[in-house]
Amino acid sequence: MAAHAAALALIPARGGSKGVPGKNLQDVGGLPLVVRSIHAAQASHRVTRVVVSTDDHAIAELSRDAGAVVVQRPQSIAGDSASSESALLHALDALACPSQSPNGLEANVVFLQCTSPFTTGAEIDKVLAALDQPKINSSFAVAPWHGFLWRADGEGINHDPNAPRQRRQDLEPSFLETGAIYAMRTTNFRAGGQRFCPPWQPVVLTDPGPEIDTLQDLALCRSLASVLSS
């Protein structure tokens, strides 16, 4: 079997959050969210290093204890308006120096979000595997979406309200970006600065689990983790 290109896992995990205070330190299934993401990356067969970018001392300590490398994120890119890309690019620049990466950066980078607590190593590998195709420069996780989508003005997006009502299973397949996993060729991402480096490839995950944006989402994930562990 051919060797896979090495991948660097990058996990942005700042200390602040408006929707869920201290979100990345919240416990789900007995583990803080940032540690769950680290463990998922460590379970990947393609990831060779796991790096957490954070401005928070508690997150940094937990991440090191879990076996991740920590990059200290400057306050200038740690606020609510800072993009994930700014944290990723800063981390790559910090890691690019010979003392940090004597053999250079890994060929691929996979960006994981702590807000997806049920990400698995196998799912990370599946998204990274899309980059085995020479023509693909980035990939991302999507999930099948089975439902009728509407615009606020009453127009149908994936259906015609004026036509006879279709069965849901007869709709043209739609796929929802999960927000959990993004993979990019490192060179292309550093050059363009965006997670979507063309050409890109969506990768379908059948059951990626919920994402945490609100306290209600957090409660749901805690309940689900309790059921899954029982």
Q: How confident is the model at residue 140 (pLDDT cuts 50, 70, 90)?
A: very high
- Asked if residue 11 belongs to a domain, the reply is yes
- Asked if residue 204 belongs to a domain, the reply is yes
- In the chain, helix, strand, coil percent, each to 5? 30, 25, 45
- Asked if residue 163 belongs to a domain, the reply is no
- Asked if residue 209 belongs to a domain, the reply is yes
Domain span at 193: 7-142+177-229
Which structure tokens are listed for 161?
A: 């309200």
pTM of this structure: 0.91
Which structure tokens are listed for 9?
A: 């896992």
Q: What is the mean pLDDT of the chain?
A: 91
The predicted-structure confidence for 38-72, as pLDDT tens digits, reads as follows 999 999 999 999 999 999 999 999 999 999 999 99
How many separate domains does the chain show? 1
- Asked if residue 167 belongs to a domain, the reply is no
CATH code of residue 17 = 3.90.550.10
The predicted-structure confidence for 189-219, as pLDDT tens digits, reads as follows 999 999 999 999 999 998 888 999 999 999 9
What are the backbone angles phi and psi of residue 65, rounded to the nearest 5°? -60, -30
Coil vs helix vs strand at 9: strand
- Asked if residue 83 belongs to a domain, the reply is yes
pLDDT higher at 56 or 103: 56
pLDDT higher at 84 or 146: 84
Q: How confident is the model at residue 2 (pLDDT cuts 50, 70, 90)?
A: low
- Asked if residue 154 belongs to a domain, the reply is no
- Asked if residue 164 belongs to a domain, the reply is no
What is the residue type of 140?
F
